[in-house]
């Protein structure tokens, strides 16, 4: 008798079953790993998307903050200039009433005219500008009509008289010009 083990049909069947089981196990492991890779790729894509959105939000916040700071700096003098408007009005009224004054007072008023001119130059350099109205077409964005009159030789909707000067500061109307408008 030989000492070689004899392979039986049962042994072959067990071996085939083992090989099939190993192949199935490998396939299952491969499928599981593929699923995990896909899940991880989805998660990476989601994190990248979230990162890019947050990055864009931060950039937008920086831009909005910078624009707000620029706007604040641009109009920083607005409140001071608004407070100076009554001073300009009073100087203009005082100088307008000086036509009947004595020569001594006229000399004194010349000094006030110089002060008024300096004040106008200083405010103009800060961005304040007078709104021209007389003889112009009425514009509700710049003029406030307080009276309507009928004057011959003047076209309708034309400003015939300024009652109070209006001013702009950079691109904003600080105060509209009060005007009389022809019907």
Q: In this predicted structure, what is the pLDDT of residue 18?
A: 75
pLDDT the model gives residue 5: 61
> What residues have CB less than 8 Å from 99, skipping those under 6 apart?
none
What pLDDT is stored for residue 6 in this prediction? 62
* For residues 152-179, average pLDDT: 92
Locate the domains of the chain by residue range: 10-74, 78-182
Q: Is CATH 3.40.50.300 what the domain over 78-182 is classified as, yes or no?
A: no
Question: Using one digit for the tens of pLDDT, what is the confidence trace for 13-37?
Answer: 667 777 777 888 888 999 999 999 9
Distance CA 149, CA 159 (A): 10
Lowest mean pLDDT among 25-34, 63-72, 104-113: 104-113
Q: Report which of 164, 170, 171, 139 is spatially closest to residue 85, judged by C-alpha positions.
A: 164
Q: What was the pLDDT predicted at 8?
A: 64
Which DSSP letter does residue 2 get? -
- Tokens representing 32 are 């599981």
Query: Stretch 83-88: mean pLDDT, rounded?
Result: 92
Give the strand order in the sheet containing 143-149: 143-149, 177-182, 159-164
Whether pLDDT at 2 is above 60: no
The rounded percent of the chain whose pLDDT value lies above 90 is 59
pTM over 0.75: no
Question: For residues 120 and 129, what is the distance between their CA atoms, to the nearest angstrom?
Answer: 9
Give the pLDDT confidence score for residue 14 in this predicted structure.
Answer: 66
Alpha-carbon distance of 163 to 179, in angstroms, equals 5
- Burial (CB < 10 A; 0-12, 13-18, 19+), residue 167, is buried
Q: pLDDT tier at 135 (50, 70, 90 boundaries)?
A: very high
- To which H or E segment does residue 36 belong? helix 9-74
């Amino acid at each position: 008798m030989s000492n070689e083990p004899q392979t039986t049909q049962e042994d072959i069947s067990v071996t085939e079953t083992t090989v099939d089981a190993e192949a199935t196990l490998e396939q299952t492991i491969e499928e599981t790993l593929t699923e995990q890779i896909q899940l991880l790729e989805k998660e990476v894509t989601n994190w990248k998307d979230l990162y890019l959105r947050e990055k864009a939000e931060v950039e937008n916040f920086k831009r909005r903050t910078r624009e707000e700071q620029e706007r604040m700096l641009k109009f920083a003098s607005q409140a001071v200039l608004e407070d100076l408007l009554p001073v300009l009005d009073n100087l203009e009224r005082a100088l307008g009433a000086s036509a009947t004054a004595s020569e001594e007072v006229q000399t004194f008023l010349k000094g006030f005219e110089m002060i008024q001119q300096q004040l106008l130059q200083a405010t103009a350099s800060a961005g304040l500008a007078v709104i021209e109205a007389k003889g112009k077409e009425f514009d509700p964005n710049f003029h406030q009509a307080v009276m309507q009159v009928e004057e011959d030789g003047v076209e309708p909707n034309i400003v015939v008289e300024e009652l109070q000067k209006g001013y702009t500061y950079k691109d904003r109307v600080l105060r509209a010009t009060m005007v009389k408008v022809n019907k």
